[in-house]
Amino acid sequence: MKESAVKEALMLYGQVQKSSLAKYGAMIDAVCDDGRARGMFRFYGAARSGRWAGRHIQLQNLPRNSLEDLDLARRLVMEGDYEKMDFLYGSVPDTLSQLIRTAFVARKGYTFIVSDFSSIEARVLAYMAREKWRIDSFAANKDIYAQSAQRMFSKPVVKGGINSDLRQKGKIAELALGYGGGEGALRAMGALDMGLTAEELPNLVNIWRHANPHIVSYWWQVDRAVREAIGELRVTRVGILSFYMKKGTLFIALPSGRRLAYPGAALKGSTYGKTAITYMGLDTKRKWNRIESYGPKFVENIIQAISRDILAYAMHSLRDYFICGHVHDEVIVECREGTAVEEITDIMEQTPDWMPGLLLRADGYETRCYRKM
């Protein structure tokens, strides 16, 4: 066999072995007699934040779709015309991967309205830390990535306009640095693939933190509150949060009334020679072990937990509608044809009474089959 043929065979084998394509098999296994897939969400699946976790088809990690004409690609698959698919899209396995979302189709006479919160974690973090310039940006409905870059570099930044190249740096900083991340977080978020150099990363961290002093302060207020709650066995508070120990477990009371729990919380010496905040939980190897943490990580847990509670509040407000699925900050609602998208987004934007003044925004779109717009 020629070397080129071997390479092609190995390439094709690698493509068809994509883990995402296994989801088609999971769909066949999960679908019920009525064409519905059930049992796909596990309540409180994420131990630290309380978010739902995916099961079976795993709606939380479906591949994104970037094909311009998904309807044509779907039709070619249903007709079995893989030769034309290969001609038009270049890779049949990649096309099949991108079409996974579209396997979810609304029943006849109905449509999906997909609605998600805009920058929910950034909004909650700004609210909790009282970072005024960010709150003002959200109030004015401005692009947070451009506003962050403008604040960081002291230059006007407009998406698609003046200094738009700086917006990319603002975006990667926003995505990576909100919870105490440094150079490693920027690298993990793909900063180098986005055109940044390794030499730029330390300065990017510094100027983002300088531009967000209340958020940085908030990390260490939470760190101090946790340490005092554990070490002095008393109730401590940071804003609308309270921290306390009960029967060896650290509890963080959230605005919604829900509590985050950290069993076996204690202050112990760490490998770095300092006293570390620790608790018992599943480590990266999924073994029950003692885990070290600190202020920014607790803030991440808190913000994601509050964001989860806001989604739960929105789902409760949408209880008269048929919610087919939900993914972190997004709900998929099956509605009768003709239902206005604004009917759903207006309900999602209602602020819970336990977060007065929080500025929420929801965006949505209508689609017969599930897709990512």
pLDDT tens-digit series, residues 235-290: 999 999 999 999 999 999 999 999 999 999 999 887 666 899 999 998 888 899 99
The type of residue at 181 is G
DSSP-derived 3-state class of residue 273: coil
The dihedral over CA atoms of 15, 20, 22, 23, expressed in degrees to the nearest 10, equals -150
Pairwise CA distance, residues 348 & 310, whole Å: 9
Top pLDDT among 89 and 240 is at 240
Confidence band (pLDDT; 50, 70, 90) for 196? confident
The type of residue at 198 is A
Length of the chain: 373
| 57 phi, psi to nearest 5 deg | -75, -20
Cross-strand partners of 330: 116, 327
Residue where the block lists tokens 């939900």: 326
Pairwise CA distance, residues 94 & 170, whole Å: 31
DSSP-derived 3-state class of residue 1: coil
For the chain, the average pLDDT equals 90
User: What tokens appear for 51 in the block?
Assistant: 């978010």
Closest CA to 145 of 183, 177, 175: 175
| 304 phi, psi to nearest 5 deg | -65, -35
- Cβ atoms of 130 and 356 within 8 Å: the answer is no
SS (H, E, C) 187-247: HHCCCCCCCCCHHHHHHHHHHHHHHCHHHHHHHHHHHHHHHHHHHHCCCEEECCEEEEEEC
Q: Determine the pLDDT at residue 189.
A: 86
Other C-beta atoms within 10 Å of 153: how many? Answer: 15
Q: Tens of pLDDT along 59-82?
A: 888 888 888 888 898 999 899 898
Confidence band (pLDDT; 50, 70, 90) for 105? very high
Q: Please name the helix (run of DSSP H) or strand (run of DSSP E) that holds residue 317, with its range, or none.
A: helix 295-317
Q: Tens of pLDDT along 308-343?
A: 999 999 999 999 999 999 998 999 999 999 999 999
- Cβ atoms of 308 and 301 within 8 Å: the answer is no
Rg of the chain over all Cα atoms, to the nearest angstrom: 23
- Cβ atoms of 238 and 250 within 8 Å: the answer is no
